[in-house]
Amino acid sequence: MAAWGQRLAGVRGVLLDISGVLFDGAEGSGVPIAGSVEAVARLKRSRLKVRFCTNESQKSLGDLVRLLQQLGFDISEGEVTAPAPATCLILKERGLRPYLLIHDGIRSEFDQIDTSNPNCVVIADAGESFSYQNMNKAFQVLMELENPVLISLGKGRYYKETSGLMLDVGAYVKALEYACGIEAEVVGKPSPEYFKSALQEMGLEAHQAVMIGDDIVGDVGGAQQCGMRALQVRTGKFRKISPEFTASPPLFC
């Protein structure tokens, strides 16, 4: 295998996933992963550009950054690419009025969005709000539209909190896709547009950056599809044996 110096030749920037890479979430808080605070500090002292790229959809961007700062991380809102703000821009640009199937923790991100007479559905990691009633309402909205639009904040299968593995939004998106015969638009990893947005903020081309994450599909696979190099950490949702590995790209290329 090539030496690390050769593998990382030409890298000028690093994109870091947050959940499972920097910290494991807990009810209302979180626990830093060993060495992560120091690793971020070292990266920021280096000549590399650093950006954080997350699919977090249970905390607003402000709440997420404040939590990370409390845990000791050197991070600001302007350094984070997150799906909720990006989704709001899309809704405004396209004149979409969503039925929001989301967690209360990010509802404030959509305060300036018209939700009357919905002509699309926005789904995120809604947690306990993934009730039959709410899922069925989303289904009904989509089925009543001539051209149904389903926008998903990420499409992960699961993630890790301190209490264990947690089912992510992807499973619920698949249910709506199947029931309605449609395909969701993903705002977040592994969408190429999402990675390109983060790279644009860094002022870098894909070949100049490396993505570091714990999700072999969303982080590693998505980055590689975008032309980036990628590394999978052995923290967070990483599993030595996982169904995600059977049709996935190599951990690094």
CA–CA separation, 144 vs 163, rounded Å?
A: 39
Taking only the tens place, the pLDDT of each residue in 159-195 is: 988 889 999 999 999 999 999 999 999 999 999 999 9
**At 248, is the pLDDT very low, low, confident or very high (cuts 50, 70, 90)?**
very low
Q: Is residue 3 part of a domain?
A: no
- What pLDDT score was predicted for residue 243? 53
Q: Is residue 244 part of a domain?
A: yes
Of residues 156, 130, 131, the one with CA closest to residue 17:
156
Same domain membership, residue 115 and residue 172: yes
Q: Is residue 6 part of a domain?
A: no
Our CA angle for 44, 49, 53, nearest 5°, is: 95
Domain that holds residue 22: 12-82+189-252
Q: Is the pLDDT at 22 greater than 50, yes or no?
A: yes
Taking only the tens place, the pLDDT of each residue in 108-156 is: 999 999 999 999 999 999 999 999 999 999 999 999 999 999 999 999 9
Same domain membership, residue 163 and residue 119: yes
Q: Is the pLDDT at 246 greater than 60, yes or no?
A: no
**At 3, is the pLDDT very low, low, confident or very high (cuts 50, 70, 90)?**
low
**At 224, is the pLDDT very low, low, confident or very high (cuts 50, 70, 90)?**
very high
Q: Is the pLDDT at 252 greater than 50, yes or no?
A: no
Task: Give the domain-ending residue among 150, 171, 187.
Answer: 187
Same domain membership, residue 199 and residue 179: no
Q: What is the mean pLDDT of residues 23-49?
A: 92
Q: Is residue 114 part of a domain?
A: yes
Number of domains forming the structure of the chain: 2
Same domain membership, residue 200 and residue 172: no
Q: Is the pLDDT at 61 greater than 90, yes or no?
A: yes
Q: What is the mean pLDDT of residues 232-253?
A: 64
- What pLDDT score was predicted for residue 158? 92
Mean of all residue pLDDT scores within the chain = 92
Q: Is the pLDDT at 25 greater than 90, yes or no?
A: no
Taking only the tens place, the pLDDT of each residue in 62-102 is: 999 999 999 999 999 999 999 999 999 999 999 999 999 99
- What pLDDT score was predicted for residue 4? 62
